[in-house]
Structure 1
Amino acid sequence: MEARTEAAPGGVAWRLWALVPIVLLAVAVAGVVSQGDRVVDLVGGNPPPADEFDVRRVEFRPGVIRVQVRNPQPDDLTIALVTVDDAIVPFTLDGPATLGRLRSSTIVVPYDWVEEEPIAIGVTSSTGIQTTHEVPAAVLTPQPSVRGFLGYGLIGALVGILPVALGLLWLPSLRRADPRWIAAFMALTGGLLTFLGVEALAEALELQAVLPSALGGPGLVLLGLAASALGMTFLSSRLSRGKAGATGLALALLVAIGIGVHNLGEGLAIGSSFATGELQLGAFLVIGFMVHNVTEGLGIAAPASRTRVSVRQLLALALVAGAPAILGTWLGGYASSDVLTPLFFALAAGAALQVVVEVGRYVARTAPGGLRSGWVVGGYLAGIAAMWATGLLIG
C-alpha cells in the first residue's frame, strides 16, 4: 500500500497569507502611535523630559568655536541662547534653529579662546533650560591634512602592528616547547581573548548609556555582539572546511581577526582623545596599549606553533590584528561618532568571545588532559592576569 503524499499548497496564496500578521501588526502600531497620548493617559502620565540638548562635538578653530548639538527629545527644541564661561555670546547657526527629534545643528561662536585653558559652553533652549558642556583644555581641533593623516597612521601602527609583530617573535620558542606548555599557551590565548571580550562589552555598555534612549543603546550593543559572533562562526566554518573546528593557521587567523576588531576600538579611543584636546591622555594610551598588545602577538603565535608558517603569512597576521588600530585613530581623530563607537566595541566583544569558543574546542581536542588539565587552567588564568596587569598601565 503506497503512502499518500500531501500536495504542497498551490499558487502564491499561502505566501500572501503569511504577510497578513505583518500588515495587521503595522496597522495596530500605527493606531497606537496616532493615539499614543490617549492610551498613556489611561494609566497616568510621566513628567515631561527636561528640554536639554545633546552636545555631540566641540571644535576649536582660530577665533571660532563650533558646537554640534542634537535634540534627543520627542518634542521640537529651539536654540535660544549660547554662553561661554557664563557670558552670553553672539552666534550663528549652520543648520536650523528649531530641531526635530534626533536632528542636529552646528552653533558657530566667534570667540578668542585661549590655548589649553578650560572652557564651559552653555546652550539654552527656548524654554530656559541650559545644557552645559565642560572642555578641560581648549586646543586647536585637528583638520584633515597629509601631515595629520600620516601622524594618526603612525600612532595606529605603533599601537597595533608593532606590538603584535613583536609578540609573534615568540613563535620559534613555542615550536620547541613541550606539548603541555603549548596547551598552556593556547589556554593563555583563550584567557586574553576573554579579557578583551569582556572589556570591550563593558566599554560598549558604558558608552551606550549616554546615548539618547531613542537610539536604542542596549539593542545597538546586542546587535553588534550577535552580528560579530555569528559572522565569526560563519568564517570559522569556512576556514575549518568541514572539520570539527579551525586549527593551525586558520585558528591563528581567527584570533588575529578577533584582536583586530578590538584594536579598532583602541584606535578610536586614542584618536578621540587627541581630537578633543586630551593630549596627555592620548600619549598615555599610546604607551599603555603598546605594552598591553604585546601579549596579543603571543596569542596569535600559539595556534600556529605546530604548523609551517612563512614570514609573509606572519606579516599578514600582524596586519590583520594591528592595522585596524590605524583605521580607528583616523575615525576617532576626524569622524568620531557616539553611535558607531559603542557599536564597534560590541563587534569587538562578539568577535573575541566567539574565538574563545574556537580556542576552547581546539584545546579540548589536542591538549593532554583536555580542558581540566592543570596546565590549561593555569594558562587560562595567566592570560587574564597578564591582560589585567598590562591594562593597569592604561588606567
Structure 2
Amino acid sequence: MEARVARSAVGWRAWALVPVVLLALAVALVVSQGDRVIDLVGGKAPPADEFDVRRVQLLPGEIRVQVRNPQHDDLTIALVTVDDAIVPFSLDGPATLGRLRSSTIVVPYDWVEDEPLAIGVTSSTGIQTTHEIAAAVETPVASGRGFLGYAAIGLLVGVVPVALGLMWLPSLRRVGAHWLAAFMALTAGLLTFLGVEALAEALQLQAAVPSALGGTGLVLLGLAASALGMTFLSMRLSGGRVGAAGLALALLVAIGIGVHNLGEGLAIGTSFATGELQLGAFLVVGFMVHNVTEGLGIAAPATRVRVTLWQLAGLALIAGAPAILGTWIGGYASNDVLAPLFFAVAAGAALQVVVEVVRYVARTAPGGLRSGWAMGGYLVGIAAMWATGLLAG
C-alpha cells in the first residue's frame, strides 16, 4: 500500500512538470522559427539600432557617456559626435555590445559651463542616438562635503517637517471621539494621495526604461511586493489580529511615508546632480511644507496610547530619514530602473497602510466609515496634500 502511494506521489509530480517542459519546447520553437510565422502576415520591421544612453558625466576636460544596447542584435559603437562635430574617444568596455550590455565612452572635450551640448553616438549601421544637455554643469563626484550636503538636504526635507508635524500629538490627545475619527480619516486621505501620486510617478518614469526590461512589469512587481510586505508586517505587529492599532498603526504609517520620502529625496538629488539647481532648491522648500502634514498623519493613530519621546523620535526617523538615502542615490547613482521601482514600492506601501487605517476607523469611529466626520476628514486629507503639493510641483 505504501509503495503504491509513493508511486502515485512520484507520478503526479512528474505530470506537473509536463506543461513546463512542453512550454519550454514551444518557446524554443517560436524563438528559432518565429520569423517564418511573421513572414506569413507581413514583413518584419528592421531594428532601430539605437543605443540607450544611461548616464552622462561632465568632468573637467572630459565627457563620459554610458550606453547600453537594448536591441536583440549586437550593436557596435562606431562614431561619437559633440555638437555635430566628430570627436576622438576611447572606451571603458567593449565596442561591440550584446543585448543589455553596457560600455562607457570617454571623450576628451573642453565643454563650456552653462552652454548646451548635443552628444551623438552612431552605431556601425549608421543610426545615431542623440542625447541633449540643456546646460552643461560639472557632475558631482562623491566627496565628504557633498555627502554631508545631500544629508543636510534630506534631513530638512524629511526628518524636520515630520518631527514638526508630530508636535501636534498633545493637541490631538484632547480632542473628542468624532474629531479623532476625522483625523484618522485625514491620515487615510494623506496616504491615498501619496500612493496615487507615487504610482503616477512610477508609471511616468517607466516610459524611460528600455522595453527589454519591461517597465510596466517592474512597476507592478514593486507595487505588489511592497503591499504584500506591509501586509505581513501588519500581521506581525498586530499579533496575528486583523488590523493594527495604536503605536503599531503609527509605525506602519511612518514606514509607508518613509518609502515615499525616499522617492522625494531621489527627485531632489537627481535635480542637483543634473545641474537643475533652481529646481532642486524649489523642491526642497515645497517638500518641507508638504511633509509637515505627514507628521500629523503619524501622530493621529498614537493619540490613545502612551508614547515616549524616544519612540516619537524613532517614528520621525523612520518616516523622514529615507529622504537622506534618496538624495544620496539621486545625487551619485541616478538610475532609470531604480526610480520607477522606488516609486512603485512607495505606492504599494502607502495604499496598503490606507487599508489598515480604514479598518481602524471602521472599528473605532462613532458611526463608522459612513460618519460625516470620517468622510470629511478623508477629503480634507486629500485636499491638504494637493494644496501643499502645489509648492513642490
Same fold (TM over 0.5): yes
2:49 aligned counterpart, secondary structure: coil
Letter in 2 for 1:220: L
1:83 aligns with 2:81: yes
Given candidates 212, 219, 222, the residue that maps to 2:220 is 222
1-structure distance, mates of 2:337, 2:84: 30
1:351 aligned partner: 349
2:58 aligned partner: 60
Letter in 1 for 2:227: A
Deviations 1:313-333 (A, max 9, x none): 001101111111111111111
1-structure distance, mates of 2:7, 2:375: 56
1:266 aligned partner: 264
2:278 aligned partner: 280
2-structure distance, mates of 1:363, 1:71: 51
Shift of 1:8: 7.6
2-structure distance, mates of 1:159, 1:24: 54
Count residues with an aligned counterpart.
Answer: 390
Shift of 1:42: 2.4
Give the TM-score taking structure 2 as reference length. 0.96
Given candidates 69, 72, 91, the residue that maps to 1:71 is 69
Percentage identity across paired residues of the two chains: 83
1-structure distance, mates of 2:44, 2:237: 53
1:247 aligns with 2:245: yes
2:331 aligned partner: 333
1-structure distance, mates of 2:81, 2:5: 74
1:3 aligned partner: none
2-structure distance, mates of 1:224, 1:74: 26
Cα RMSD, aligned residues only: 1.4
Deviations 1:138-177 (A, max 9, x none): 1111111111111111111111111100100000000001
Given candidates 296, 299, 302, the residue that maps to 2:297 is 299
2:304 aligned counterpart, secondary structure: coil
Letter in 2 for 1:27: L
Structure 1 residues 1-395: aligned runs within 5 Å: 10=8, 12-395=10-393
1-structure distance, mates of 2:242, 2:192: 22
Letter in 1 for 2:333: A
1:243 aligned counterpart, secondary structure: coil
Give the TM-score taking structure 1 as reference length. 0.96
Shift of 1:106: 0.8
Shift of 1:65: 0.5
1-structure distance, mates of 2:355, 2:43: 47
Deviations 1:186-228 (A, max 9, x none): 1110001000000100011111112111101111111110000
Shift of 1:75: 1.7
1:49 aligned counterpart, secondary structure: coil
Letter in 1 for 2:279: L
Letter in 2 for 1:164: V
Shift of 1:392: 0.7
2-structure distance, mates of 1:36, 1:68: 33
Shift of 1:10: 4.9
Deviations 1:40-82 (A, max 9, x none): 2222233223222111111011100001111112222221211
Shift of 1:102: 1.3
Deviations 1:209-262 (A, max 9, x none): 121111011111111100000111111111111333100000000000100110
Residue segments in structure 1 that go unaligned for 5+ positions in a row: 1-5
2:339 aligned counterpart, secondary structure: helix
Shift of 1:11: 5.2
2-structure distance, mates of 1:86, 1:394: 37
2-structure distance, mates of 1:52, 1:299: 47
Shift of 1:9: 6.1
2-structure distance, mates of 1:9, 1:390: 66
Shift of 1:363: 0.4
2-structure distance, mates of 1:216, 1:325: 27
Letter in 2 for 1:169: M
1-structure distance, mates of 2:382, 2:47: 43
Letter in 2 for 1:143: V
Deviations 1:4-43 (A, max 9, x none): xx96865533323322221221122112112121222222
